Chain A
């Protein structure tokens, strides 16, 4: 609902907390944006422009106030081969297409698919993300002098120990400033941001990606755009869920889907890489007291201010200090509770979680990990529901008729249980299959019923199926071959 009251609540209900939190978040966005530009193999300005544009646009049109969106690890690791093989212009084109796909997803209400992603898969996703963020820092830590390690350690020490003294200043910022000063005056010879590529010197401007508008281009970028769109939405929906929980306020997931789409669409034209919501930074935002659209907006615009105005200083920032901040983000993103819970949770949940993590770390593709997790949890679920199935039978007094009573769920996984329940070798005149308490879910279930009925008939036994509930009867009526007359015509006995 668009009204002044809503606008006021979503933008101005908490301006002081939001502006401060936005500034803290902007500082936490810089290392991530630079870090992931480097992973993706593009200039830091691509990631920085993207973070600015995605954060600001998501603040305006997103569905979850207080959630931070920007250029992320999850997307960066996906596009490495695209940039390596085809160049950065294709990345922009892929980002635009990604936005279009996400908008379509919003219109098709694909956010509802998140219902099928279980908690274990979400935990696995989050942990995998943390591992990706951490491993993305490793190139900065290999083949370097001890100075780098010392600086990372010093950075982490400042980040985690300073809040014990004061919580007025963002400790990651202090770490970056202190290490920058040390490296400039100490002449330590470590890598700086400036060594990593071009930094922005102006505000971003509109551009059309320099790619041929052919089917060939579409063929190249479409697979990337699709994966980026899926991964982006997955992380955004999960982050929105976390922010919902932390702030105890509802969000509009459908609007968030479209909002992410619009943000990425526009970002592609501004020369930025694709992005999505960020778990770590969103937690930092809430922790710092941010909860409305204003904090997200401030985060994005302050980021632009920082990089345009303070660009020369930003280029002096030593990489180890950014690595320290990213290690912090990775630690904060990881769900440590899930390690403890491995022992206490049902083994199936733990397997789903671990498989999700392993597949992501293996393929560097969060979408594949989630797919594996979802499929696996579906299988586990089917195997659990399969056991909700019992059969009892009793013989009539004259020994000529046996009644089988089924109860529970009959579907593709119950085939074996179902056929095993019958004793086909018994000599009978008549068999009654009583389905009063059972439900047939799919055509596999109908097929096994068919099979059983036909088998009895071949033994010369007549079969009567009774007590089917309406839905099951409809399925049997449509798909079964054992019975020519329409079973829905027969009165069900309940």
Chain B
């Protein structure tokens, strides 16, 4: 049986993560594991004591104090997390998923997700976490780290979800994009959905021979697929194309470049994630 790992936190994305996970689970007839990670604010960083004086029994006192701060916050975070998990389970069961399990863990977001995805076939996560929810033009700080470290396909939920009917595959001539295309063709997740191939590139890149190569892969399986080729920055082309198709899900190969290059030049993946307001499936 296939397994889906749905990662939720206190942000408003939790419900769309559940909807999306339920959609995927019913199509794949998969079980869903809901993961919530208890985050702890760093008690050390929260201190405002710059006196620098250390006196009798300072080590044990300090340890006690830090433990108390963490303990109080931890207890609260745990009970909040339980409520979140219960709500998510309800949503998933209502969405028609029969096999739902809950998982409540301490630790770092990225490390825990990577640890748990080993036994999953698909990871579903919100575009932003609770800490960056207000900032609607950015993606959450953990997403990129999760996607970079992950070896499984990651489905990123937008705030509002319509049941996907259209599948849009973004092509840019990279091997990552072809891999994503192969995944779409092979996966039962997308059977019966209409396939759109969208290619974009800077103006004047006339050579679209790679596009023919991509098309030849899908033509047997999905002869009715729709093709859209446009000049322009990928995020713009995709954004325009998707704004008229609200019930679409975007599939693309993720982070083809190294972290260092991304640091300097920025990443297409990140930019697209930021602008597109629909679920995005990233295939590594």
Q: Measured between alpha carbons, how far is A159 from B55 in the docked complex, in Å? A: 9
- Whether B42 and A291, one on each chain, are in contact in the complex, defined by CB atoms closer than 8 angstroms, is yes
- Whether A288 and B47, one on each chain, are in contact in the complex, defined by CB atoms closer than 8 angstroms, is yes
Q: B55: which A residues are within 8 A, CB to CB?
A: 160, 328, 331-332
Determine whether A63 belongs to the interface, using a CB cutoff of 8 Å to chain B: no
- Given A5-B110, A289-B45, A337 and B60 touching (CB < 8 A)? yes
Q: B149: which A residues are within 8 A, CB to CB?
A: 3
- Whether A291 and B44, one on each chain, are in contact in the complex, defined by CB atoms closer than 8 angstroms, is yes
Interface residues of B in 233-267 (CB under 8 A from A): 259-260, 263
- Whether A163 and B48, one on each chain, are in contact in the complex, defined by CB atoms closer than 8 angstroms, is no
- Whether B54 and A283, one on each chain, are in contact in the complex, defined by CB atoms closer than 8 angstroms, is yes
Q: Measured between alpha carbons, how far is A427 from B99 in the docked complex, in Å? A: 73
| Bitwise interface map of A from 330 to 354 toward B, beta carbon under 8 Å scored 1, else 0 | 0111011100000000000000000
- Whether A289 and B58, one on each chain, are in contact in the complex, defined by CB atoms closer than 8 angstroms, is no
Determine whether B212 belongs to the interface, using a CB cutoff of 8 Å to chain A: no
- Whether A287 and B42, one on each chain, are in contact in the complex, defined by CB atoms closer than 8 angstroms, is no
**A interface residues, Cβ below 8 angstroms from B:** 3-5, 13-14, 17, 20-21, 24-25, 27-28, 66, 159-160, 162-163, 166-173, 242, 245-248, 280, 283-284, 286-291, 328-329, 331-333, 335-337
Determine whether B56 belongs to the interface, using a CB cutoff of 8 Å to chain A: yes
- Chain A to chain B: the 6 pairs with minimum beta-carbon distance, closest first: A332-B54, A170-B52, A163-B51, A14-B45, A24-B52, A291-B44
Q: Measured between alpha carbons, how far is A166 from B50 in the docked complex, in Å? A: 9
- Whether B51 and A289, one on each chain, are in contact in the complex, defined by CB atoms closer than 8 angstroms, is no
- Whether B51 and A247, one on each chain, are in contact in the complex, defined by CB atoms closer than 8 angstroms, is no
- Whether A4 and B53, one on each chain, are in contact in the complex, defined by CB atoms closer than 8 angstroms, is no
Count of CB-CB pairs between chains A and B under 8 Å: 113
Q: Measured between alpha carbons, how far is A20 from B48 in the docked complex, in Å? A: 10
Q: B53: which A residues are within 8 A, CB to CB?
A: 159-160, 162-163, 170-172, 328
Q: A291: which B residues are within 8 A, CB to CB?
A: 42, 44-45
Q: B259: which A residues are within 8 A, CB to CB?
A: 3-4
Q: Measured between alpha carbons, how far is A247 from B62 in the docked complex, in Å? A: 10
- Whether A288 and B50, one on each chain, are in contact in the complex, defined by CB atoms closer than 8 angstroms, is yes
Q: Measured between alpha carbons, how far is A167 from B47 in the docked complex, in Å? A: 11
- Whether A284 and B47, one on each chain, are in contact in the complex, defined by CB atoms closer than 8 angstroms, is no
Q: B214: which A residues are within 8 A, CB to CB?
A: none
- Whether A332 and B58, one on each chain, are in contact in the complex, defined by CB atoms closer than 8 angstroms, is yes
- Whether B44 and A17, one on each chain, are in contact in the complex, defined by CB atoms closer than 8 angstroms, is yes
Determine whether B63 belongs to the interface, using a CB cutoff of 8 Å to chain A: yes
- Given A5-B145, A245-B63, A28 and B52 touching (CB < 8 A)? yes
- Given A284-B54, A331-B55, A331-B56, A167 and B62 touching (CB < 8 A)? no
Q: A20: which B residues are within 8 A, CB to CB?
A: 50
Q: Measured between alpha carbons, how far is A14 from B57 in the docked complex, in Å? A: 26
- Whether B51 and A248, one on each chain, are in contact in the complex, defined by CB atoms closer than 8 angstroms, is no
Determine whether B66 belongs to the interface, using a CB cutoff of 8 Å to chain A: yes
Shortest Cβ distance from residue B36 to the other chain A in the assembled complex, whole angstroms? 20
Determine whether B49 belongs to the interface, using a CB cutoff of 8 Å to chain A: yes
- Whether A168 and B52, one on each chain, are in contact in the complex, defined by CB atoms closer than 8 angstroms, is no
Determine whether B70 belongs to the interface, using a CB cutoff of 8 Å to chain A: yes
Q: Measured between alpha carbons, how far is A157 from B271 in the docked complex, in Å? A: 58
A-B contact pairs, 6 of them (CB 8 A): A3-B149, A167-B50, A245-B63, A246-B62, A287-B58, A333-B54
Shortest Cβ distance from residue B146 to the other chain A in the assembled complex, whole angstroms? 10
Determine whether B221 belongs to the interface, using a CB cutoff of 8 Å to chain A: no
- Whether A328 and B54, one on each chain, are in contact in the complex, defined by CB atoms closer than 8 angstroms, is yes
Q: A328: which B residues are within 8 A, CB to CB?
A: 53-55
Q: B263: which A residues are within 8 A, CB to CB?
A: 4
- Whether A27 and B47, one on each chain, are in contact in the complex, defined by CB atoms closer than 8 angstroms, is no
Q: B59: which A residues are within 8 A, CB to CB?
A: 242, 246, 283, 332, 335
Q: Measured between alpha carbons, how far is A393 from B202 in the docked complex, in Å? A: 92
Among candidates A245, A331, A335, residue contacting B54 with C-beta atoms closer than 8 Å: A331
Q: Measured between alpha carbons, how far is A386 from B258 in the docked complex, in Å? A: 59
13 more CB-based (< 8 A) A-B contacts, given A3-B145, A332-B54, A337-B60: A3-B148, A13-B42, A14-B45, A20-B50, A171-B53, A172-B53, A246-B44, A283-B54, A283-B58, A284-B54, A288-B52, A336-B57, A337-B57
Q: B44: which A residues are within 8 A, CB to CB?
A: 14, 17, 66, 246-247, 286, 289-291
